[in-house]
Amino acid sequence: MKERKSIFKRIGYLLMIVTLTIVAFLAPKVLEKEVSAAVDRTVPTLQTVTIKSDNNNQKFAKLGDTVTLSITASEDTKTPIVTIVGETLAVVEDVYPSTYKATYKVVEGTLEGEVLFHITYTDDAGNAGIPVTATTDSSKVMVDKTRPVIDPVSVVPINTKNALTWEAPITTARDNMHEDISNDIVVTYFKADAITAINLTEARIELETGINVVVKYNVNDEAGNVATEISATFTAIDNTSPVLELEGYQGFDWSNILRIKLEVEDISSWTPPTLKATDNIDGDISDDVVVRYFDVTERDKLVPDLAAARTKLIEKGIVGLEYNVSDAAGNIAFANIDFFTDYTPPVTDDIPPVLELEGYQGFDWSNILRIELEVEDISSWTPPVLKATDNTDGDISDNVVVRYFDVTERDKLLTDLAAARTKLIEKGIVGLEYNVSDAAGNTAFANIDFFTDYTPPTPVTDNIPPVIELEGYEGFDWHNILRIELEIEDIASWTPPTLKATDNIDGDVSDNIEVRYFDVVGGNLLTDLAVARTELKEKGIVGLEYNVSDAAGNIAFANIDFFTDYTPPAIVVAGATVTTEDAATWTAPLATVTDNINPDFTVEGQYYKADGLTEIELATAREELVAGRNVIVKYVSDLPGNVATEVFATFEALDTTAPKIALVEDATVDTKVVSNWTAPETTANDNKDGNLTENITIKYFNADDETIELTNLAAARRELTAGRSVVVKYNVSDAAGNSAKEVSATFRTRDITAPIITSVGKTKFRIYTITANENIREYSIDNGKTWIKVTTPRDNVRISFGKYGSYQIIVKDVAGNESKMKTVTYSRPKNIWWQWRVWK
């Protein structure tokens, strides 16, 4: 029995397990259906979100315009809460189920720029949709309350002469959002009253008639904001000359001369025609026309009156009339008319005759023709006859005139043929000049030289001066002054030495030498030898000037100074200090040379480096001084005779140039690295000491009050860690004590390090927790299209996924730095697990 009970007991357990298993499989389905029927977990979405303005351009809204946000939800929801442009709560109304309209009117305080909005919504079951801040069709509305600005117009007076091609000058217009809108400017023309509108053609006519024109410039931006109108008045200046007209010759160009033929029989009763004069401003001014008569054949010769003009017509068959008239502005118009009878003006002849010699046709008479004669023919020789032909007068050979002249002295005329024959016998050459003139006065010339076998002598040009020599000083260069010392006891009997002069052509010309005595110190001439001896006694020096000329007039000079007890000159100069700041324009001073004979004078120095050996130019000397190195200047006298002792002057460079520190730019310090931050390094250089970078001192100061110095780098780091700015100041001095211009830079802290999503884990059904390495201010799912703000920033947030799929997650830290995107997949759980989960 026990065994049977045991079997039944086992069978009972088995049936219970099977029953529980069936229930485990069937009960979840029933429960799922019940739960699905009772619970709404579907998150609503916004299917369409569009925005527009009631402005003519729906993309813009100006002051007073209403912006409308149209919303369509996936299901019927509670009235959405909409904020537009920040904290402004929009007026929201239900249009029909699941469709809503939010409106906002632009007021004075509305910020310009894109209209931003934020929509939150919840369905009737309490499911909150993901907040929306962007439209589904990419529509946008920009708030633009600012009027565009039109730039002033440059106004210049308009000459009436140019009025018919004038146009109002263009200008430019700028808008705060649309930038250059110059092409949209509307230009309107008005009469001078600035009220009566006219078109451009009418405006030109107004100006052409001397009446002012007003031009107004207007422009609207895309939002319909109207710019302040710009108005410019253009003044008409009359520089248009009156118009002269003659009946039957309308449109004639009076810059030409009108020619009108008269019948001879009409001359006695002829009167000049009346011309009509019209001015663009003064109208008909025909009564002001003035007429003058003049002789056409002599254009500058006036004819006094009509009677004289008629006489001129009878005499020369032509007379001229000049009409002129001026308007009130002084603009003048002219018209010229020549009246003539059957009259042909004379032809101007400016072509000279042509001379020809038989056998030499075509010879160019601008040259001289040379013809050789036999000596035996000279006694019977006669000049050949040249033929002369003129383009107007024909053959004028009889008018040819012949002149004879001496070829060796071309300007010397010979009287007649007999004298020419004599010249041929004497010098073997004679010249003939033929000339002829036509009736118009045009002249032609021909020149012929007749010669026998004759070679003229070659003239010798002497331009070499004589050579002066003194015994014992052969080869002395007399461009210099020779100095000869005399003994004092010899002065009473001293006489100047005799110099020898030799010429390349004239030979010995020593007898032609002239001697002059002069005062070397004063430069005055001395009368004779006795006065020269006195000069030697009194001043210890006297000068002699020897000069001689050859027959050709070439002159040679020699100068000798005779002196006793002659003291060399002395050079006086003082060294000095030169500051490195003044060195770039420094020049060594001139040295004064004092002499017992010659007047004082100054000399320039030669520059050397501080070693006194290396010669340099002034520019290099300046560079040495700028660099703080000394310069030596050597002075030498160029006074002939006794030479002055050279003098060296040392110019000491005083370093007054401050070092220069390279600038350091202001910068931002990442809050993440403040603990390791140090002030950036810079460099310093000095003109003398070179690189002083290692000597730079760095100090830290409070940015709000730079007089408050921070104790050290650690204190500066604490300031930056607390979010306060720090000023860093750099200083340096050179060995001479010159302080550089202080360099400072301001450093501010800012978090520029992106946060890192450290983990994404499921908490429970559809709920995931995102954890970051720092506090999260905002997070976004679905490629960052929608940002959700965290009320209180913390290092983790919880996200509920509405349906299965892959999601991209980005978070922002408190500073607004974005993390890298992280992808999370929310997938349907396996069936058994799901059933167990629901059943549980």
Q: Which string of DSSP letters, residue by residue, matches 422-447?
A: HHHHHHSEEEEEEEEE-TT--EEEEE
Residue 728: pLDDT above 90?
A: yes
Return the pLDDT at 410: 64
pLDDT grade, residue 190 (50/70/90)? very high
pLDDT grade, residue 833 (50/70/90)? very low
Return the pLDDT at 124: 79
CA angle 182, 185, 186 (to 5 degrees): 165
* Mean pLDDT on 131-155: 90
Rounded CA separation 14/443 (Å) = 159
Strands 555-563 and 481-485: parallel
Rounded CA separation 760/821 (Å) = 12
- Write b or e for each residue in 541-565: b if 16 or more Cβ atoms lie within 10 A of its Cβ, otherwise e: bbbbebbbbbeeebebebbbbbbbe
Each residue's pLDDT tens digit, 548-596: 998 888 999 999 988 886 567 788 887 788 877 787 888 888 888 887 6
Token representation of residue 235? 């003044």
Rounded CA separation 392/398 (Å) = 15
Distance of alpha carbon 507 from the chain centroid: 71
Residue 623: pLDDT above 60?
A: yes
> Residue 234 is which amino acid?
F
Residues forming a β-bridge with 401: 435
CA angle 389, 392, 395 (to 5 degrees): 30
Q: Are 85 and 102 in contact (CB under 8 A)?
A: no
Residue matched to tokens 């997650």: 809
CA angle 265, 266, 270 (to 5 degrees): 150
Q: Are 237 and 157 in contact (CB under 8 A)?
A: yes
> Residue 408 is which amino acid?
T
Return the pLDDT at 65: 92
pLDDT grade, residue 201 (50/70/90)? very high
β strands within 538-580, DSSP E: 541-549, 555-563, 570-572, 576-579
Would the CA dihedral through 103, 109, 112, 116 be positive or negative?
A: negative
Return the pLDDT at 307: 86
Residue 682: pLDDT above 90?
A: yes
Each residue's pLDDT tens digit, 510-533: 999 999 998 887 778 888 998 888
Using alpha carbons, select from 755, 740, 608, 581 the residue that is nearest to residue 671.
755
Q: Where are the alpha helices (DSSP H) in 402-518?
A: 417-427
* Mean pLDDT on 74-80: 84
Rounded CA separation 218/190 (Å) = 14
Count other C-beta atoms under 10 Å from residue 26's C-beta: 11
Rounded CA separation 168/186 (Å) = 11
Q: Are 226 and 220 in contact (CB under 8 A)?
A: yes
Would the CA dihedral through 370, 371, 377, 383 be positive or negative?
A: negative
Rounded CA separation 798/821 (Å) = 17
Rounded CA separation 174/219 (Å) = 10
Count other C-beta atoms under 10 Å from residue 638's C-beta: 10
CA angle 573, 575, 581 (to 5 degrees): 130
pLDDT grade, residue 346 (50/70/90)? low
* Mean pLDDT on 347-356: 83
- Which of 25-39, 672-686, 697-711 is predicted with the least confidence, judged by mean pLDDT? 25-39
Token representation of residue 100? 């809503």
Residue 427 or residue 274, greater confidence: 274
Return the pLDDT at 750: 81
CA angle 428, 430, 431 (to 5 degrees): 155
Q: Are 502 and 512 in contact (CB under 8 A)?
A: no
Return the pLDDT at 617: 92
pLDDT grade, residue 310 (50/70/90)? confident
- pTM score: 0.35
What is the C-alpha radius of gyration for the chain, rounded to an integer number of angstroms?
59
Q: Are 556 and 463 in contact (CB under 8 A)?
A: no
Return the pLDDT at 395: 92
Each residue's pLDDT tens digit, 796-815: 888 877 677 788 889 988 87
Each residue's pLDDT tens digit, 432-469: 899 999 888 889 999 998 888 755 545 557 788 999 99
Count other C-beta atoms under 10 Å from residue 131's C-beta: 16
Rounded CA separation 600/595 (Å) = 6
Which DSSP letter does residue 196 get?
Answer: S
Using alpha carbons, select from 85, 90, 118 the residue that is nearest to residue 102.
90
Rounded CA separation 599/142 (Å) = 92
Residue 835: pLDDT above 80?
A: no
pLDDT grade, residue 17 (50/70/90)? low
Using alpha carbons, select from 222, 185, 175 the residue that is nearest to residue 58.
222
Return the pLDDT at 624: 87
Which DSSP letter does residue 530 get?
Answer: H
Return the pLDDT at 434: 92
Strands 60-61 and 142-143: parallel
Residue matched to tokens 């049936």: 15
Token representation of residue 671? 């809050």
Average pLDDT, rounded, for the chain: 83
Long-range contacts of range 804-809, CB-CB < 8 Å, 24 or more positions apart? 804/828, 807/781, 807/782, 808/781, 808/782, 808/783, 808/784, 809/757, 809/760, 809/770, 809/779, 809/780, 809/781
Return the pLDDT at 452: 85
Residue 35: pLDDT above 60?
A: no
Q: How many CA atoms lie within 13 A of 81 on its CB side?
A: 10
Return the pLDDT at 366: 85
Nearby residues of 830 by Cβ (< 8 Å), 6 or more positions away: none
Q: Are 550 and 503 in contact (CB under 8 A)?
A: yes
> Residue 38 is which amino acid?
A
Residue 306 sits at φ, ψ, to 5 deg, of -65, -40
pLDDT grade, residue 4 (50/70/90)? very low
Return the pLDDT at 463: 84
Residue 403 sits at φ, ψ, to 5 deg, of -125, 145
Q: Are 446 and 365 in contact (CB under 8 A)?
A: yes
Would the CA dihedral through 592, 595, 601, 605 be positive or negative?
A: negative
Q: Are 780 and 813 in contact (CB under 8 A)?
A: no
pLDDT grade, residue 233 (50/70/90)? very high
Per cent of the chain over pLDDT 70 is: 89
CA angle 315, 438, 398 (to 5 degrees): 125
* Mean pLDDT on 278-283: 88
DSSP three-state, residue 92: strand
Token representation of residue 431? 């010249």
Q: Are 20 and 14 in contact (CB under 8 A)?
A: no
| Of 91-105, 133-147, 262-276, highest mean pLDDT | 133-147
Rounded CA separation 564/541 (Å) = 6
> Residue 254 is which amino acid?
W
